[in-house]
Amino acid sequence: PLVISHIYTKLCESEDKNINIHIDFSCSLEDVEIPDIFLIEIIGNLLDNAMDEVMERKKNEDIRFKIMNNGDEICFLIANEHDKISYKEYQNFFKEGYSRKGGGRGVGLPYVKKIVDKFHGHIEIGNKKYGINNYFTISVYLKK
C-alpha cells in the first residue's frame, strides 16, 4: 500500500504539471524481495527525473511507466520522450556527481544503483522507439 500510494502521489503530481504518464502495470509488487522504502526511493527518483526532463524541455512530451513480470524478476520501466541520447553520454548517468543539469546534482541515480545492487538486481538504460518517437528508458530488474 505504501508503494502504491507513492505512485498515486507521483501521478497526481504529473497531472498538476500537465505531464501525461502512460501506465501499464501488469503484475503485483507483493513478491518483490526489497523493502517498500527502497521501492519508493527507486520509483520516486526515476519518475522525478523523467518529469524534470519533460518540464525542462517544454515540448509536451510523454512518460511511460510500466511494471511487468519478467520471469523470476519484476521490471520497472520508466521512459521519457527524448531525442536520442548517445551511449557515451548515458553511460555516465550513474556516476556520482554527474549531471546534465548543472552542479550540486548527480546523486539520485547513483543512489538508485546502490539500492538495486544491494538487492542483487540490475539496471538497463538506453533509447527505445514507441511508435515514431524516441524515448530514453531506464529499466530496473529486481528479484521476486
Question: Which structural domain, as residue segments, surrounds residue 40?
Answer: 2-143
Q: What is the pLDDT of residue 90?
A: 84
CA–CA separation, 83 vs 56, rounded Å? 13
Mean pLDDT by 10 residues, the chain (144 residues): 94 96 93 94 96 92 96 96 90 79 72 96 96 96 95
Q: What is the pLDDT of residue 30?
A: 87
Residues 106, 135 contacting (CB under 8 angstroms): no
Q: What is the pLDDT of residue 21?
A: 97
Q: What is the pLDDT of residue 100?
A: 67
Q: What is the pLDDT of residue 104?
A: 59
Sequence-ordered strand ranges (E) for 19-132: 21-25, 63-70, 73-81, 122-130
CA–CA separation, 94 vs 114, rounded Å? 10
How many domains would you assign to the chain? 1
Q: What is the pLDDT of residue 95?
A: 84
Give me the CATH number covering residue 9.
3.30.565.10
Q: What is the pLDDT of residue 103?
A: 61
**Reported pTM:** 0.90
Please identify which residue in the block is written with the cell numbers 507483493. Answer: 30
Instruction: Report CA-CA distances (Å) from 72 to 68, 75, 93, 142.
Output: 11, 10, 27, 9
Q: What is the pLDDT of residue 56?
A: 92
Q: What is the pLDDT of residue 92?
A: 85
CA–CA separation, 59 vs 19, rounded Å? 10
